[in-house]
Chains A and B, each alone.
Chain A
């Protein structure tokens, strides 16, 4: 168990007392003494110390007569989505505030399950977050959720190995491939892999394909939602991913690799490069980690037509259920939990990355985590996945075709044709065309 700082313990002891006094003093404000309960659904926050309980107590202290009941969601993202869908569509007892994976926000907005936050959030408050975090929460010109914490795809590299051969972190994939060849030739270690990434048929695999498209200066959908606006660049990007495997730069098993399956071998010192999310950095720096102190981070490299650091963003947003009986208070809670103070506590306690640029320049936070300035540029430069209510449909429809390219069952052209047929069918079925 992680030890809590003594200050937090003191707060925990004193708070109930303070609350009692407050409740006695302003009892009339809380609906004739009956406390209002807000239900807050969120995934369990992992990390050294979960800051959520303390934050909620602070919110309660500022809003006498209000109690926030925190309810944990299951860990897997698929199950969380399923839980929300069943409960929001089925009309079970409501919850007030919920944590959403960023890719669900447009879908939930379209379904009418969450409240439009536009009237409650000033432009200044909106601008205090990265545009790359706000953009995916905007649908039909309205803001539906506020970012709670943020993620971005990045390149991990072995600082010691690159230094040994006099390399700087690669800016292009051509360079990356050259470095892998040179280092593996020099090391003569058959157990040392080159570049690990996620090629399994799942959302993470989709993210890696999207990043390859962006790295080559194109994207999956154009502004009108039509697939593959630049087929030649898309073909190059897909052929590049397959080529990584064929040339041995990436081991064949990345076609079954997810985040954890690829993070482990890199963490055991068995790969030179890894495409991952920021959370892995803390694990690489654990005292028992074989690569402690030997891992660097860099923006994702580019292909011929794209730009450096065209990585996917991710993360969690907070939204208010459309069926809440206390909309004003629920919005207050969302604004409080996404405030600078709360995000600072989340960054310190749970090692999550904030969506507010100001915190990346915060001296106290940077002193604790020197990678923040580097992450700042990556968060700012990242790309949201296609912002559409149909994203999950789009992703699960395309995944088998892209997976077929990675394992060599289909040529990129054939997979793009198949994916286009599927996407067009989807657009017809949902009346987008």
Chain B
């Protein structure tokens, strides 16, 4: 077969996937872009061109900047904790033989719960008067979700509880593929403990950790359920992320154009972060 025919076959095989992706992802994304340049509130028959005005408003909108700050804080803190804890759990699992299956099953359970269910569960755990968290802390009445200083940390803990297993399982799977001979050889050479981790485990696990980081960051940037259920963005807007703000604009107050503009900004943030990560991962591959 000629190269041209090969190429044609390739495109033909790709076509269905491209059409589906185009129809389900690219087309709606372009439509959201288009909407973001308009004032559109269908309920009040408002539909007129806005150009960049909605973006200009976002630039000076304190609620938007507060939401952006909350989103950034939430993402950095929860992803950092999830990766550190996930790696620690994976290392712990490798060294543990008894009860490993049970531990894996429990980890999967936390990850498999829909995040709305997780959120509802934490709502009761955090209940100031009857919640388990305060009970364990000796019957205090700490106002976890109603105190502006505690609400965001409380949400981060809930997200860490839910998503750490994902990182742990990815890392654990990678650890299983590291041949034990490497460690045996290291031991013969007198390198054990911290040194073995730094020279063998860390370089081998880093690429997979980066991928976990990528997935978790993108998820955290778009996090919605946990804050929506637990605090609704409160108290005083201190836990309102960009996605919650976009939801309120789009579906609660039906400002289709304005909500789309927020959506576009979230999209741009997510893309920038994804590209940065992919470059990092690419550099890692090139170095390997």
- Interface residues in chain A, defined as those with a beta carbon under 8 Å from any beta carbon in chain B: 78, 81-82, 85-86, 89, 107, 110-111, 191, 193, 199-202, 205, 251-257, 261, 264-265, 268, 270, 389, 392-393, 396-397, 399-401, 403-404, 406-407, 409-410, 429-431
Docked pose: A191 CA to B140 CA in angstroms: 11
Taking the complex as formed, is B236 at the interface, i.e. its CB lies under 8 A from any CB of chain A? yes
Contact sample, A vs B, 12 pairs, CB 8 Å cutoff: A200-B232, A201-B237, A202-B234, A251-B141, A255-B235, A389-B43, A392-B254, A397-B253, A400-B63, A404-B236, A407-B148, A429-B41
Q: Flag if B231 contacts A111 (CB, 8 Å).
A: no
> Per a CB cutoff under 8 Å, which of B231, B235, B252, B254 touches A78?
B252
Q: Write the nearest CB–CB distance from B216 to chain A, whole angstroms.
A: 27
Q: Please name the residue on chain A nearest to B230 by beta carbon.
A: A256
Question: A200 to chain B: which residues have CB within 8 Å?
Answer: 145-146, 231-232, 234-235
Q: How far is the CA of A75 from the CA of B238 in the complex (A)?
A: 27
Shortest CB-to-CB span from A430 to chain B, Å, is 5
B143 and A399 within 8 A (CB)? no
Contacts of A253 in B (CB 8 A): 127-129, 141, 143, 145-146
B248 CB-CB contact with A under 8 Å: yes
- Indicate if B44 sits at the interface (CB-CB under 8 A): yes
* A410 / chain B contacts, CB cutoff of 8 Å: 236
Q: With A81-B251, A399-B234, A410-B236 in contact, is A261–B123 under 8 Å at CB?
A: yes
Pairs of residues from A and B, 8 with the lowest C-beta to C-beta distance, nearest first: A201-B234, A256-B146, A253-B128, A255-B146, A404-B236, A400-B237, A256-B145, A111-B43
On chain A, the residues within 8 Å of B63 by CB distance are: 400
Q: Which of B143, B145, B148, B240 has the most CB of A within 10 A?
A: B143
Given contacts A111-B43, A256-B128, A397-B253, could you give 20 more A-B pairs where the C-beta distance is less than 8 Å? A82-B251, A107-B43, A199-B146, A200-B146, A201-B236, A202-B232, A205-B234, A252-B146, A252-B147, A256-B234, A261-B127, A264-B130, A270-B129, A270-B130, A393-B255, A406-B235, A409-B236, A430-B44, A430-B46, A431-B46
A218 to chain B, nearest CB (A): 23
Known: A200-B146, A201-B233. A389 touches B44 (CB 8 A): yes
User: B148 contacts which of A85, A392, A409 (Cβ < 8 Å)?
Assistant: A409
Q: Which residues of A contact B233 (CB under 8 A)?
A: 201, 400
Inter-chain CA distance A264–B235, complex, in Å, is 21
B42: Cβ under 8 A from any A Cβ: yes
Q: How far is the CA of A397 from the CA of B146 in the complex (A)?
A: 19
Measured between alpha carbons, how far is A268 from B127 in the docked complex, in Å?
Answer: 14
- B254 proximity list for chain A (CB < 8 A): 85, 392
Kindly state whether residue B74 has any CB partner on chain A within 8 Å.
no
Measured CB to CB, the residues of B under 8 A from A are 39, 41-44, 46, 63, 123, 127-130, 141, 143-148, 151, 231-237, 240, 248, 251-255
* Complex contact B141–A252 (CB within 8 A): yes
- Total A-B Cβ pairs within 8 A: 119
> How far does the alpha carbon of A429 sit from the alpha carbon of B53 in the complex, in Å?
12
Once the chains are docked, how many angstroms separate the CA of A251 from the CA of B43? 40
Q: List, in ascending order, chain B residues with CB within 8 A of A111's CB.
A: 42-44
Q: B242 to chain A: closest CB distance in Å?
A: 15
* Set of chain B residues within 8 Å of A193, measured between Cβ atoms: 129
- Given known contacts A78-B252, A396-B248, A399-B234, is B130 in contact with A265 (CB within 8 Å)? yes
Give the residues in chain B near A255, CB-CB below 8 Å: 143, 146-147, 234-235
In Å, the complex CA distance between A410 and B148 comes to 12
- Partner of A110 from the list B43, B141, B146, B236 (CB cut-off 8 Å) is B43
A407 to B144 alpha-carbon distance, docked (Å): 12
Contact between B252 and A407, CB atoms less than 8 A apart: no
Output the least CB separation between B133 and chain A (Å): 12
Contacts of A202 in B (CB 8 A): 232, 234
A265 CB → nearest B CB, Å: 5
Chain B residues whose CB sits within 8 angstroms of the CB of A205 once the complex forms: 234
User: Does A403 lie within 8 Å of B234, measured CB to CB?
Assistant: yes
Task: For the complex formed, measure the closest distance between the CB of B237 and the CB atoms of chain A, giving whole angstroms.
Answer: 4
Contact of B147 among A270, A401, A407, A429 (CB under 8 A): A407
Residues of A within 8 A of B234 (CB): 200-202, 205, 255-256, 399-400, 403
A393 and B46 within 8 A (CB): no
Chain A residue numbers with a CB within 8 Å of B44 are 110-111, 389, 430-431
A392: chain B residues within 8 A (beta carbon): 252-254
Most buried by A among B123, B145, B146, B231: B146
Complexed CA–CA distance, A256 and B229 (Å): 11
Closest CB of chain A to B140's CB: distance in Å?
11
Interchain CB contact under 8 A, B128 and A252: yes
When C-beta atoms are compared, the residue in chain A nearest to B240 turns out to be A400
How far is A399 from B254 in the complex, measured between Cα atoms in Å?
17
- Minimal beta-carbon separation of B262 from chain A (angstroms): 14
A162, B8: Cα distance in complex, Å: 85
Closest chain B residue, CB of each to CB of A261:
B127
**B46, B130, B252: which contacts A81 (Cβ < 8 A)?**
B252
Closest A residue by C-beta to B126: A256
Q: Which of B43, B44, B145, B233 has the most CB of A within 10 A?
A: B43
**Inter-chain contact A256/B43, CB cutoff 8 Å:** no
B235 / chain A contacts, CB cutoff of 8 Å: 200-201, 255-256, 403-404, 406-407, 409
B253: A residues at CB distance < 8 A: 392-393, 396-397
Nearest B-chain residue to A393, judged by Cβ:
B253
Q: Evaluate whether A252 and B236 lie within 8 angstroms (CB atoms) in the complex, with A396-B252, A409-B148, A430-B41 already known.
A: no
Shortest CB distance A206–B (Å)? 11
Q: How far is the CA of A378 from the CA of B233 in the complex (A)?
A: 32
Query: Which chain A residue lies CB-closest to B42?
Result: A89
Q: Which of A81, A253, A406, A407 has the most CB of B within 10 A?
A: A253
A85 and B251 within 8 A (CB): yes
Contacts of B143 in A (CB 8 A): 251-253, 255-256
- Provide the bound-state CA to CA distance between A107 and B42, in Å: 11
* Closest chain A residue, CB of each to CB of B39: A429
Which one of A191, A202, A403 has the highest number of Cβ atoms from chain B below 10 Å of its Cβ? A403
